[in-house]
Every structure is written in C-alpha cells, then in structure tokens.
Structure 1
C-alpha cells in the first residue's frame, strides 16, 4: 500500500468514526444538545482532528447527507421503460429502491429523521425527495388518465411538497414500527397514497379501485 493510500485510508476511517459517533449521540441525547467535544470524545479523537475534517457539527451532517444521497444514486437500478407494468400493485421500482436503501441504512435514517434528529438533514432529505418526484412524474402519467386543472388557485408546488412530507413520515413510521414490513410492501402502500393523492391533486384523472379505466 502506497503512502497516499495509507493517508486516504486513515481519512476514511476518521470520517467513519466521527459519523458513527454523531449518529449514536443523536439517538442518545438529540442533535441540538450535541457539541463538537461530545463527538470527538465519542470517536476517541481530539477536537483539533475534528476541525481538520469538518467545520462544525452542521458540516458533518451535511457530509453525511451527501454521502448517503450519493450511495442511493450509485445503487439505484435503471428504471424500466415498460410503464404498462406500473399499477397500484406494482409501484415504480424507484420507490422500492428508495425503501431498500433506507432499510440498509436504517440506523442512520432512524437517528437523523426521528424526533431527536437533525432538522437540517430532514430539510435536505425533503429537497432531495421533491427532486426525485418531479424527475419521475413523467413516468407515472401512463398509469393515469388525461390531465386537467381542477383548482386554479392550487399552487403547483404544493402537492409535491405534501408528498415529500408523506414519504418522510412513512419512512419514520416504518423504522419505528415494531412489525417487520418489507421495502416492497412499504413502497406499494406509499404508492397507493401517491397515486391517488398526488396525481389527483396535480389534476390527473385517476381510476378508482376496482373500476375499469
């Protein structure tokens, strides 16, 4: 192993220890009560080392979010173009992949999005979800009918913001639930709500359950 590789390994190890310390402390005492000293002590490093890597605890949370979002994108499978397969019992695979990712990182999301978590992380997560919804809305349209403006006063940004809150609420409920539900189950139930609520609010004709289109 070269000298540069050894340095890179040490940096990644330090980042891992600091991030794990942050997550543990959030679970124990809440984000707002945590200090840089607490994080450094839990990670068994000194404060000077912390500040060589991060500006403050908010910067650490920002980096955790960036790495988490990058991980989700890196592991997301290509979306199938066969949109005829998208119906109420077969949610778009992107949502299944999102919940699979959450399941793999459940320790992180439960800490960051829970009642003791980071409001900053939650806000960034919501922004990221809004982007995902808008990017994938075009893929949902074949499952619905034509579109019409049902309420001229309805702000166009409101339905997507409402749905982002629903998704985060679904994630938190799932992670805190005592029962074990699979990512595909949760994705399907979320999709039921999104299909009827979001698409209807956006003005699409959505078929009722059990009714022929």
Structure 2
C-alpha cells in the first residue's frame, strides 16, 4: 500500500513538472514551436520518462482538460420535469463551478493555450470533447427524461451542442483575459443562464426561466 502511494505521488509530481515546463515554454515561444525535448529538458527529466506518461505534447495538454470535463459531465444527472427550477439551477451551477474552479487552478495553462501564442488546435479539441461528452450524456438520459416536441424537428442534435461548446470556450477566454476578477461561481451562474436555457429550449425541453412561475 505504501509503495502504491509513493508511486502515485511520483506520477503526480512528474505530471506537475511537465505541465509547469510546458506552460513556461508556451509563454516564451508559443505552443507550435515547442518540442517534447524542450519540455523534458525544462522539466529536468528524460524523454523516455515523458513518453511513459504522454504520447506527445498534444496529449499532455489535452489530458488536463479532458479529465476535468469527464468528471464534470459524470456529475450531471437528469431532472424530473416537476423539480423546482431554482433547485435545478442551484445544482447545475454548482457542477459547472467545478469546471471554472479547474480553469482558475490551471489559469496559466489555459491562458497560454487559448491566448495569442496558444494553439487553435487546443481550443478545437476542447470544443470537440465537450460536444462528445454532452451528446453521450443526453443519450443516457433519454430513457429517463423525454423532451417535449422540438421547436424545429429538423435541427441536427449536434448543432445546439456545438453552439454551447463555442459559448463555453468564449466564456473561459473572456474570464481569463479579465484576470479572473469574478469568482468561478459567478462565471458558472452566468454561463449556465445564458447557454443552457437557449440550449435546452433548442433541444425541445420545457425550460422555465429563472425567477418565473411555471
């Protein structure tokens, strides 16, 4: 047991060193110019150690977001149609706060990857992963919560999810550029109210607005 704990701590420490090295290098020279050798040298580890943990530099950065997003979506549960709207909002805002807290914790990484010296590929991958997770989650919900008649039956189900993913990335970028003057909870509340009422309505769910009687 002690050996497993020691191994886990060593892995986490290695991940931390690699992430910090990558962030520093992105800030200095931009993501596209960085090599695995650069990251390993800055982290003071050898290339073989790097490849034991990640496939390449792309795998390194995207795993950070994917792990956080996976946990976030797993926490989401369907709601019965009769649930109090305020209770539902409070729950979902709390869940999305986790994502914004994750972004705050790794602010240097996201600012570097989504900023002017960052990588369009990373933003695209964040959107793609968000779309994939949300569509999968909705498929799991279908047997528990049935939508009302869609506003536009011809609308492809992936379209509102794609729009939602762009809103999410845009919200994160804006928050980082504002130097996080607002709390994760505030950002989660504003993101939820702006994005999800429109998203769920487009998907055909009955969505009472916050503060409004049913």
TM range (shorter): 0.7 to 0.9
Q: 1:4 to 1:164 in 2, by over 3 A?
A: closer
Contact 1:112/1:118, CA 8 A, preserved across alignment: yes
If the length of structure 2 is used for normalisation, what is the TM-score?
A: 0.72
Aligned residues: 207
Find the counterpart in structure 1 of residue 14 from structure 2.
14
Residue 21 of structure 1: how far off its partner (Å): 0.6
Contact 1:18 1:43 in 2 (8 A): yes
1:27 paired residue number: 27
Q: What is residue 147 of structure 1 aligned with on the other side? A: 148
Secondary structure of 2:84 counterpart: helix
Q: How far apart in 2 are the matches of 1:53 and 1:208?
A: 45
The residue number in structure 1 matching 2:84 is: 84
**1:15-62 C-alpha deviation (Å, 9 max, x unpaired):** 321221112212222211111232123213344543454443223334
Question: After the TM superposition, which of the residue ranges 6-15 and 93-102 deviates more from structure 2?
Answer: 6-15
Question: Structure 1 residues 191, 49: closer, same or farther in 2, change over 3 A?
Answer: closer
Matches within 5 A, 1:88-107: 90=90, 92=92, 93-107=94-108
The answer to whether the 8 A contact 2:66-2:129 is kept is: no
Give TM-score, length-normalised by structure 1.
0.72
Task: Find the aligned partners of 1:152 and 1:38 in 2 and give their Cα distance.
Answer: 51
Name 2:61's counterpart in structure 1. 61
Q: Within 5 Å, which residues of 2 pair with 1:52-201?
A: 52-69=52-69, 72-73=71-72, 83-86=83-86, 90=90, 92=92, 93-131=94-132, 133-134=134-135, 135=137, 147-178=148-179, 180-201=181-202
For the 8 Å contact 2:69–2:130, the answer to whether it is kept is no
Aligned partners of 1:3 and 1:209: how far apart in 2?
51
Change (3 A) 1:88 1:190: farther
Which runs of no fewer than 5 residues in structure 2 stay unpaired? Answer: none
User: 1:88–1:192: 8 Å Cα contact kept in structure 2?
Assistant: no
| Alpha-carbon distance change, 129 to 47 in structure 1, aligned in 2, over 3 angstroms | closer
